[in-house]
A and B are shown apart, each in its own frame.
Chain A
Amino acid sequence: DAGITQSPRHKVTETGTPVTLRCHQTENHRYMYWYRQDPGHGLRLIHYSYGVKDTDKGEVSDGYSVSRSKTEDFLLTLESATSSQTSVYFCATGEHGGYNEQFFGPGTRLTVL
């Protein structure tokens, strides 16, 4: 298994506060992704990275920003959390883009009150 950890694993916060979720990998994979999982929607891509300091938006990027200053770390920030951002967030990594498998972290359950 790819070594992917996410922190925190659970978080409860209040509307309007900033929140940062961390994804850490030990596999030296070039590509990293943040998804959110909501019932009835499957997983939806928030942001992705194709190298250090190279990031781009996914399909549901509003209200989120990311940073990747090192190969192993990919941070997701909710600039001002809203209740609609209550979700389970998954980080994934991949050695290559395209047809290669993505490896998923264990997820972070975020509740915004």
Chain B
Amino acid sequence: AQSVTQLGSHVSVSEGALVLLRCNYSSSVPPYLFWYVQYPNQGLQLLLKYTSAATLVKGINGFEAEFKKSETSFHLTKPSAHMSDAAEYFCAVTNAGGTSYGKLTFGQGTILTVHP
């Protein structure tokens, strides 16, 4: 069984400030981890993914995330927020086993608001 918890359903930052979105996972087998972003009235698009190659993962739009096995965390960060980063962000997990079929378990989502 696997699960994802995103701490904070809403995060508000000022433009130029650090963005930190928290994600903790639970998995009985080695996980693959993903961050997706959803802009209003759109589908989800991939920001970045962890597939065991490197613990620090860089994604699109200046985002990165670090896999910490000891903390079962995969927090998303961006050094300087832009207004265009305002969206809802989802952390997701699937297991690395051959029978996972890529089925994703999502967190509850975090809405990021960026103030001028």
B70-116 interface with A by 8 A CB criterion:
90, 92, 94, 96, 98, 100-109
B11-44 contact mask (Cβ, 8 Å, vs A): 1 or 0: 0000000000000000000001010100001111
Chain A: CB-nearest residue to B43: A104
Task: Contact check, B100 vs A42: say whether CB atoms are below 8 A apart.
Answer: no
Interface residues on A, range: 20 to 34
Minimum CB–CB distance for A12 against chain B, Å: 17
Chain B: CB-nearest residue to A49: B101
A39-86 interface with B by 8 A CB criterion:
40-45, 48, 50, 56, 58-59
Interface residues of B (CB under 8 A from A): 4, 6, 9, 32, 34, 36, 41-46, 49, 51, 90, 92, 94, 96, 98, 100-109
Docked CA distance A104–B96 (Å)? 21
Interface residues of A (CB under 8 A from B): 4, 31, 33, 35, 40-45, 48, 50, 56, 58-59, 90, 92, 94, 96-102, 104-107
